[in-house]
């Protein structure tokens, strides 16, 4: 497995048909797939799901603790900028690769 107890977990973002999707191919995040029409709800749910998945995959006795490497406000600013720069005849489909920092397990 990659990133055991430290490092970054790569999370992919894509806007598809009105929904904000996040998923990962990282071993520690196997099974992550979050989607919502509300970007903040989806963004925050990634952290909650990663905590559960990492705890499960590493068989930790206590719940894992991760946090986004990028605050939601910065992500949302990026998202708004990409949508605003899109041409009116083009349906915006922004995508990005983001990281969540793995802090192993909570004290």
Domain containing 85 equals 8-105
Domain CATH for 71: 3.30.160
Q: Is residue 71 part of a domain?
A: yes
- The domain total for the chain is 1
28's torsion region: left (phi>0), alpha (psi -120 to 50) or beta? alpha
pLDDT tops 60 at residue 38: yes
Higher pLDDT, 6 or 67: 67
* The pLDDT value given to residue 86: 55
Q: Give the C-alpha separation, 92 to 94, whole Å.
A: 6
pLDDT tops 60 at residue 12: yes
Q: Is residue 2 part of a domain?
A: no
Q: Is residue 1 part of a domain?
A: no
Q: What is the pLDDT of residues 41-94, one digit of tens each?
A: 999 999 999 999 999 989 999 988 899 989 999 999 988 887 766 544 445 556
């Amino acid at each position: 497995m990659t990133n055991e107890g430290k490092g970054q977990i790569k999370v992919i973002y894509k806007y598809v048909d009105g929904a904000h999707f996040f998923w990962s191919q990282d071993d520690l995040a196997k099974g992550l797939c979050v989607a919502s029409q509300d970007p903040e709800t989806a963004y925050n749910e990634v952290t909650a799901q990663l905590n559960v998945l990492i705890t499960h995959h590493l068989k930790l006795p206590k719940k894992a603790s991760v946090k986004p490497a990028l605050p939601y406000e910065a992500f949302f600013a990026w998202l708004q900028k990409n949508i605003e720069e899109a041409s009116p005849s083009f349906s915006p489909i922004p995508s990005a690769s983001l990281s969540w920092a793995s802090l192993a397990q909570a004290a």
